[in-house]
Amino acid sequence: DSGVTQTPKHLITATGQRVTLRCSPRSGDLSVYWYQQSLDQGLQFLIQYYNGEERAKGNILERFSAQQFPDLHSELNLSSLELGDSALYFCASSVGEGESAGNTIYFGEGSWLTVV
């Protein structure tokens, strides 16, 4: 158990809909990262939050957005869903700063999204 909790584990929704994926980082971790894993693109970094603020952006579509709340949990919002958005979405967390920052990055079990 990595200590990173993601919900839901599986989600099936229709094109054009909006979904929210939730992530609770490991206790003490201030940074949260979102990744997308699809068959054609592999694992891609989407976005990072550190202590409530956006820290870095990767290949995140404009239809997608995220936020990190004061209790450090994070949500990834996916809207106007398309078939191609079907993927496994991971949340990862790390301490964020200090000696062990950047060398321990743990992933949650992922949220399987299927768009039909």
Partner 1 sequence: AQKITQTQPGMFVQEKEAVTLDCTYDTSDPSYGLFWYKQPSSGEMIFLIYQGSYDQQNATEGRYSLNFQKARKSANLVISASQLGDSAMYFCAMREGPRYSGAGSYQLTFGKGTKLSVIP
**Residue 46 C-beta: closest distance to partner 1, Å:** 9
**Residue 42 C-beta: closest distance to partner 1, Å:** 6
DSSP 17-77: --EEEEEEPPTT--EEEEEEEETTTEEEEEEEEETTEEEEE-S--TTEEEEE-TTS-EEEE
**Which residue, among 112, 104, 114, has the nearest Cα to 30 in the 3D structure?**
104
Nearer to partner 1, 17 or 51 (CB): 51
Nearer to partner 1, 56 or 80 (CB): 56
Phi, psi of 108 (to 5 degrees): -80, 180
**Residue 19 C-beta: closest distance to partner 1, Å:** 18
CB atoms within 10 A of CB 77: 13
Nearer to partner 1, 19 or 95 (CB): 95
Positions in the binding site for partner 1 (CB under 8 A): 2, 30-31, 33, 35, 42-43, 45, 48, 50-51, 55-56, 58, 88, 90, 92, 94, 96-97, 99, 101-110, 112
**Residue 16 C-beta: closest distance to partner 1, Å:** 26
Pair of tokens at residue 41: 């693109």
